[in-house]
Structure 1
């Protein structure tokens, strides 16, 4: 969609032009604005920035023509977006979102947050950053300081220790009677085309699906989980983009996008979950399918006044879910223990989704529901089903 090239002194005039054009289109030029004086100062500052080893100034090329300006600083503590302007003629094409999403992916790989400042009188930019998961952390004069830390948080949650313990060959969700119908159904839905797995993890489903003859790509936010996948499949056999499944793009077009084992609930806001549907739609060819495997919230099991349920109580493992019904949040507490008194606790946060709410999210992204079953084998879905596999189809045109 775009290409970045380092700015040179000959670009200073264009960078001034695009900054003025973008600011004017937003209606944010002050009364009595002295363009000549501003331009002279901006060009001087641009030339200083080009020589500054602490920042990187880029020209954004679109369709092989200069179309925008990007300034980034990289420190051991953060990736800092110091400024981005796109010419009004190429706005609303997703280019700004793509640039910021790529910076988020860079921050994930480096294990640091992505930070930026945004003027309080620029509501359009603020809405974009809110949608992309930025959170206000402080104020700096007339600007708000925003930070994106999801990559850091997810890599702390899904770290190397968790990734090393995640695979349980031939048992639990890795059991053959779980994997086999999952792969068979996904291969059928791919209909001879390419498949994309959001939150591909260690490749529990992707590796056998690729072995079934379906070309598979993935998106994954945890670098530790991806490292574990790479012990089973190369980047050539299963290419993976590092990033957030709600926003990250991967090359190509697909007939199938899928999310398994409740993973959409790892997105903790309704806005992010809707964005995930829209991201699936962006990757699909007309008539393509988006498949979600998801549990049904167990609120009927909550005793009055007690916000928790015991999901599993097996030898060596107890699962306790605590609910915040106001925010539709649940935290799963995983207790692993053996002989003696020592135990290991792991916690995973989720935002639960009702089946009808999931259908509405699909409609907002241009999908219609094609089917819903209680499992991958096609068991009918009923009011008592604990989970479902829902297939959504994108319009043919």
Structure 2
């Protein structure tokens, strides 16, 4: 879609022109501005930015032609988006969103926030940043300071409304014939020791596992999901944070991730870090268990980027795939009476079983077993999911 290359001093004139064109197209060019004088000042400032070791100035190229400007500052504490402008000819093609998403992934890998400033009279940019999960953290003159972190994004996705409607007692993934085999297998794998659930959520598995006599702890990033768990059990110890980096007190014989949750980590680096975090929590010979779906790419017809996962009265699940980045967005359509409908969306990074095994090796695990479900059904080429048990070597 686009590529970035470091700007040179010879690009300064183009950078000035693209800023003028983008600002003019937004109707935000100051009345009576002396464009010649402004352009000369901007070119001089761009020359300084090219030589400034504290910032990175890029030319955005689309179809191998210069089409925009990007300026980013990086410190050990923050990634800061100092400015992004695209020529009107390439706007509304998702390029700005893709650039910001890439910066979000960078900030996530470095475990720092992504920050930017936006003018209060720029509603289009503000709508984009709000949609991408930025929140206001301060003001500087005529600008608002916005910040994005992984925690903010996850709490936006898994908010109080989602948490309140997450549990479906006795149906779906909360049905006894689903919970029973899951808890029985996890209790067996814990082998009399302590268990730690990554992304414990509302306690769908942790609460009954604790009731079966297994000491359970958890890690959870969404405070709303944790609040819902506390309505059912207020004794399970839970560390608030990201399952890829957060440390829970103590040592465990079992760490587990259920119901595709590892795919909520949207980069390969985060997913590998999750394995390494599991290893940090385990005693020698301990196990890490992952329940995960098999990507359904064989169901994608040529040129069609989506599959219908579920279609039943009141609910449709539609998955859209980005096969280059191994990303899938699940679109959840819930229907009420008449024409009423509600849409929820969750992003994921899908993982092939072989890639999952390699991640395990990088963290010091070996594959002990793999089945199609918690009951021990053999895993085959036609299985749509798997329960993989890794042992810390």
Q: TM-score range by the shorter chain?
A: 0.5 to 0.7
Aligned to 1:104: none
Please give the alpha-carbon distance, in whole angstroms, between the structure 2 residues aligned to 1:132 and 1:205.
31
C-alpha spacing 1:162/1:129, structure 2 compared with 1 (3 Å): closer
Aligned to 1:3: none
Aligned to 1:197: 197
Per-residue deviation, 1:134: 3.2
Matched, 1:174 2:174: yes
Contact 2:371 2:378 in 1 (8 A): yes
C-alpha spacing 1:244/1:148, structure 2 compared with 1 (3 Å): farther
Aligned to 1:134: 112
Secondary structure in 1 matching 2:367: strand
Task: Give CA deviations for 1:128-171 in whole Å, capped at 9, x if unaligned.
Answer: 976344365469xxxxx996611111111100000000000000
Give me the CA root mean square deviation. Answer: 2.2
C-alpha spacing 1:148/1:138, structure 2 compared with 1 (3 Å): closer
Which ranges in structure 1 are unaligned for 5 or more consecutive residues? Answer: 1-114, 120-127, 140-144
Task: Give CA deviations for 1:264-284 in whole Å, capped at 9, x if unaligned.
Answer: 000000000000000000000
Q: Structure 1 segments of 4 or more deviating over 3 A? A: 128-139, 145-148
Please give the alpha-carbon distance, in whole angstroms, between the structure 1 residues aligned to 2:224 and 2:107.
26
Aligned to 1:55: none
Give the total of aligned pairs.
Answer: 267
Which ranges in structure 2 are unaligned for 5 or more consecutive residues? Answer: 1-75, 81-105, 118-144
Aligned to 1:336: 334
C-alpha spacing 1:158/1:188, structure 2 compared with 1 (3 Å): same
TM-score, structure 2 length as denominator? 0.65
Task: Give CA deviations for 1:80-100 in whole Å, capped at 9, x if unaligned.
Answer: xxxxxxxxxxxxxxxxxxxxx
Per-residue deviation, 1:368: 0.2
Secondary structure in 2 matching 1:116: coil
C-alpha spacing 1:298/1:155, structure 2 compared with 1 (3 Å): same
Contact 2:79 2:112 in 1 (8 A): no
Please give the alpha-carbon distance, in whole angstroms, between the structure 2 residues aligned to 1:355 and 1:171.
28
C-alpha spacing 1:290/1:313, structure 2 compared with 1 (3 Å): same
Contact 1:132 1:247 in 2 (8 A): no
Please give the alpha-carbon distance, in whole angstroms, between the structure 2 residues aligned to 1:268 and 1:118.
18
Contact 1:256 1:284 in 2 (8 A): yes
Task: Give CA deviations for 1:230-260 in whole Å, capped at 9, x if unaligned.
Answer: 00111xx310000000000010000000000
